[in-house]
Structure 1
Amino acid sequence: MKKILLLGIMLMMSSMAVADNQGLINKKSHHSVKVTLDRLENALKEKGITIVTRWSHDAGAKKIGIPLRPTELLIFGNPKLGSHMFTSNQTSGIDLPLKALAWEDKKGQVWLTYNDPKYIANRHGIKDRAEIVKKMTGALNNLTNAATMADDKAK
């Protein structure tokens, strides 16, 4: 009984963390912004996931004289999963394809941030795609771990 109660509390706390963080998942990276996104892009391509574009926010800011720490965005998608979200609620297209943001904080730590698929489903009232959300969540976790882990941990 105590184990079930503890598990329930842990699940509630994890969902509160998502809500408190507005559906964002942040992972520390052991690499630079560029290398983190290079690794993510390569992992996505290996899985046959479409890369839509890669955008450097700091390069754009630099062009107009605004200093910005390294900040790059990767937009990518997998129609085999995302299309199921659209058939439940087409407004999910505002959040899909998926995005991952690699950025460096004031202390020099690099982070990889992306939207939690559960948050996207909740935001659009999608209640009939639990299996798709589960697959998206697992795939994103594995792919972003591959991008952020130290090389000795990835093996």
Structure 2
Amino acid sequence: MRVYLQLLTLVFALFSLPSMAQEGMVQVQSQYDVPTTTDRLLAAIRAKGLKVIGRINHAQAAEDAGLKLRPTELVIFGNPKVGTPFMACSQSAGIDLPQKALIWEAEDGKVWLGYNKPAYILERHQLDGCGLSVEKVNKALVTLAKLATQPSPQ
């Protein structure tokens, strides 16, 4: 019986791997194409007083290398006053900070904006004992994603 349970656990873990790739990531469908969604995100970031660190066009880089990739862009942004306390508590958080947002066109043509959940970063880098709150960060990211992906109410 014990061997059966171990085998069942192993099989379950193997079939769970594809969904684990999205663990800790928020994904919001956009009503716009990739360049427009990215432009809207950059405008929202700047309007909120955050610092834009970079915009990487992965599809263009692939094309430059003679490869094909559906439209995919990465935006790197943040606020050192918010991110630094996280890294001061656990410097490994620097791998996930500053914040990043990935905008991509899926195989079915839908466009998505994805970003790491702040709570996931907290857990991943064992920041729970640092007295840091992610509620404001989470609220800001939700707002930015909405501004980038949804039409403004008239």
TM-score band (shorter)? 0.7 to 0.9
Counterparts of 2:79 and 2:107, CA distance in 1: 33
Counterparts of 1:147 and 1:102, CA distance in 2: 10
Counterparts of 1:68 and 1:28, CA distance in 2: 19
Question: Counterpart of 1:132 in 2: which secondary structure?
Answer: coil
1:100–1:112: 8 Å Cα contact kept in structure 2?
yes
For the aligned residues, what is the CA RMSD? Answer: 1.7
Residue 75 of structure 1 aligns with an amino acid whose one-letter code is: I
Aligned to 2:123: 122
Counterparts of 1:116 and 1:129, CA distance in 2: 18
Higher mean displacement: 131-140 or 22-31? 131-140
Structure 1 residue runs of 5 or longer lacking an equivalent are 1-17
Aligned to 2:58: 57
1:81–1:132: 8 Å Cα contact kept in structure 2?
no
Counterparts of 1:107 and 1:59, CA distance in 2: 20
Residue 47 of structure 1 aligns with an amino acid whose one-letter code is: K
State the 4+ residue runs in structure 1 displaced beyond 4 angstroms: none
What is the CA deviation profile of residues 57-88 of structure 1, one whole-angstrom value per residue up to 9, with x for unaligned ones?
A: 00010012211110000000111211121122
Give 1 or 2 for the bigger CA radius of gyration: 2
Aligned to 2:89: 88
Alignment CA distance shift 1:130-1:27 (3 Å): farther
Aligned to 2:6: none
Q: How many residues align?
A: 136
2:86–2:132: 8 Å Cα contact kept in structure 1?
no
